[in-house]
Amino acid sequence: MRIVVLVSGRGSNFQAIVDNVAAKNLSVTCTQMITDNPNAYAIHRAHNAGIPVTVIDYHAFPSRKEYEVDLLLALDELQPDLIVLAGYMRIIGKEIVLAYKERIINIHPSLLPSFPGLHAQAQALAHGVKVAGCTVHFVDEEMDAGPIILQRCVRVCDDDTVEVLEERILAEEHIALSHAIQLFCDGKLKICDRRVFIL
């Protein structure tokens, strides 16, 4: 199975995939990392891992539509079996969603459908939830709303800051994302009426 990983910044989830592949805990080939951000720290991680990088600088395009034309072209050249959004901070447009229907997954740092969008961990703290976590889901045309593959939860402690909670959730993200990729690659995910069943 060939995966392409889209990243916008730090890339710790990307690194977890790379490490799991190296440790033979994940049996996929990461053929490319694509980033919308020429300054993403994840680029260094990809170079260190010997994974080719494509930079498609979002801000170099006059519109999101034009950016997405280039992104779709890049994806089509790579022919991935699965596209993994690992800290990719942009909405995937309709054309790409349709071209790769049920072949794009995303990691989000909340227990969806709670706290979609940006700053999910801060939203969770502001709401005083006692349990937080992360979600891996298929990507559809709505933001952070596609069928849920799996979730992992963490405690929220009374003295948590946003940074502390982010770290606790991130550790679970690193496990959840690779697990979901492996399930997909093993053909164990079945979507029925917007629900994902693990076979």
- Comparison of 11 and 146: residue with beta carbon closer to ligand GAR: 11
Q: Choose one: 59-67, 81-89, 155-163, 180-188; the region binding ligand GAR (CB under 6 A).
A: 81-89
Among 3, 13, 30, 84, binds ligand GAR (CB under 6 A): 13
- Comparison of 163 and 193: residue with beta carbon closer to ligand GAR: 163
The count of C-alpha atoms lying within 13 angstroms of the C-alpha of 190, restricted to the half-sphere facing its C-beta, is 5
Considering only CA atoms, which of 19, 34, 133 is closest in space to residue 74? 34
Considering only CA atoms, which of 70, 69, 67, 82 is closest in space to residue 32? 82
Among 80, 109, 133, 147, binds ligand GAR (CB under 6 A): 109
Q: How far is the CB of 38 from ligand GAR (least distance, A)?
A: 15
Residues 127-186 contacting ligand GAR, CB under 6 A: 170, 173
Among 26, 107, 156, 176, binds ligand GAR (CB under 6 A): 107
Q: How far is the CB of 192 from ligand GAR (least distance, A)?
A: 25
Separation of alpha carbons 24 and 157, rounded Å = 34
Separation of alpha carbons 57 and 169, rounded Å = 29
Residue whose token pair is 């991680």: 45
Catalytic residue check, 137: no
Separation of alpha carbons 63 and 65, rounded Å = 5
Among 17, 58, 75, 108, binds ligand GAR (CB under 6 A): 108
Q: How far is the CB of 110 from ligand GAR (least distance, A)?
A: 8
Q: Choose one: 29-37, 46-54, 91-99, 107-115; the region binding ligand GAR (CB under 6 A).
A: 107-115
Catalog residues that contact ligand GAR under the rule CB under 6 A: 7, 9-13, 86-87, 89, 107-109, 120, 170, 173
